[in-house]
Amino acid sequence: MMKSSGIQRPTMLLLAALTCVLTFLPAAEAMICYRCTVLPRQYVGEKDQPCSKFDGSERFYQDCPTSTFCMKRIIHYRLTNGTTVTTAERDCAFQKDVVQAYNWKERRWHPEERIDKEAYGEGCFKGEDRGTPNGPSEYCFCSRNYCNSASSAKLCGSLVILAFLLMKLCR
């Protein structure tokens, strides 16, 4: 008589595959990104949260109806004592473009909003070095909800662990 040890192997594989697919599918509704600013309080609105207090909690959530990407900008500040401080600013990626379109029926121009879905690609790149003492910022773009919280190294590590677990299940 054979004992059942819970979920059968094919069912486990199916559940693992389904979890992977659902995890990496883009959402149909607007993106939700983390948002925080490095600007001093006097230059921002009341709802803006400082990046120095970023903890990934709900108060940093931002609906992004005109974005298909989240953005994280890594900034290096060189202080007068020679030390360098690194911080990260998070937000929805800017993709909204307002163009003038002509309406032939009304015989007039009107503003029309467009979302440039191909403005960015997944991943990180260094900005242009314009000779500032702090050096160029690094910009990271991703296309999943809440994806601009962790470093790209953490995301990569998570994917490696997931692949390893799937390989163990397949044996």
Q: What distance in Å separates the CA atoms of residue 59 and residue 48, rounded to the nearest whole number?
A: 9
Average model confidence (pLDDT) for the chain? 79
Residue type, position 144, single letter: R
* DSSP tally for the chain: helices H, then strands E: 2, 8
Residues ≥6 apart with Cβ < 8 Å to 61: 32, 33, 34, 35, 146
Nearest-5° Cα angle at 79, 74 to 80: 160
Alpha helices in the chain, H assignment, sequence order: 9-24, 152-170
User: Which residues is 124 bridged to in the sheet?
Assistant: 140
pLDDT single digits (tens) 39-78: 877 667 777 889 989 999 999 999 999 999 999 999 988 8
